[in-house]
Amino acid sequence: MYQLYGFDLGASVDHIPLPIFSSEERERRLELTRTNAKRFIELHKIRKCTFVPVGVIQGTDPESYARELKAYKEMGYAHVGIGGLVPRSDKEILAVMQALGRERKAMKRAPWMHLFGVYRPKIHR
C-alpha cells in the first residue's frame, strides 16, 4: 500500500504487548512484531520499493526496547519507530528513551528514531 500510493515512509505492522496481557501473550506479541518487521524489510528489498521502511519496535521494559533496537539494526533498518509508549507514564517513557540512547551510542550509524503517538511536554532535556 505504501508503494502503491506513493508514501515517503512505511511502518511495519506491530502488536502492542500491553501489561494487561499474560507474559506469554506479551512475548508472543513481541515476536510477532519482530517477525513482521523482518518480513517487511525483506519484501521492501525484493520489490525494490522506493518508500523508506520504518521498523516498529515494541518492548516490555527499557532493556527489551534496547535489545529490539539492536535486532532491528541487524535486520537492516536505518529508520525505526518506537511504539507502545502512549499508555506509559512519563517516568517509564524517559527510562525507555535512556535505554535506547545508551544502545544508540554503542552503534555505528545508529538508526533514525521516531516516537509513535508521544507528546509529553514535561519530558524535555
Grid coordinates in use for 29? 506479541
* C-alpha closest to that of 77 among 47, 34, 31: 34
Is 53:40 a contact under the CB 8 Å cutoff? yes
Give the Å distances, CA to CA, from 23 to 17, 18, 19, 73. 9, 10, 8, 25
Query: What pairs with residue 82 in β-bridges?
Result: 57, 115
Is 70:56 a contact under the CB 8 Å cutoff? no
Residue 51 above 70 pLDDT?
yes
How do the domains of the chain map onto residue ranges?
A: 9-115
Residue 60 above 80 pLDDT?
yes
Count of helices and strands (H, E) across the chain: 3, 4
Predicted confidence band of residue 121 (pLDDT cuts 50, 70, 90)? confident
> What value does the mean pLDDT take over residues 29-52?
98
Report the mean per-residue pLDDT for the chain. Answer: 95
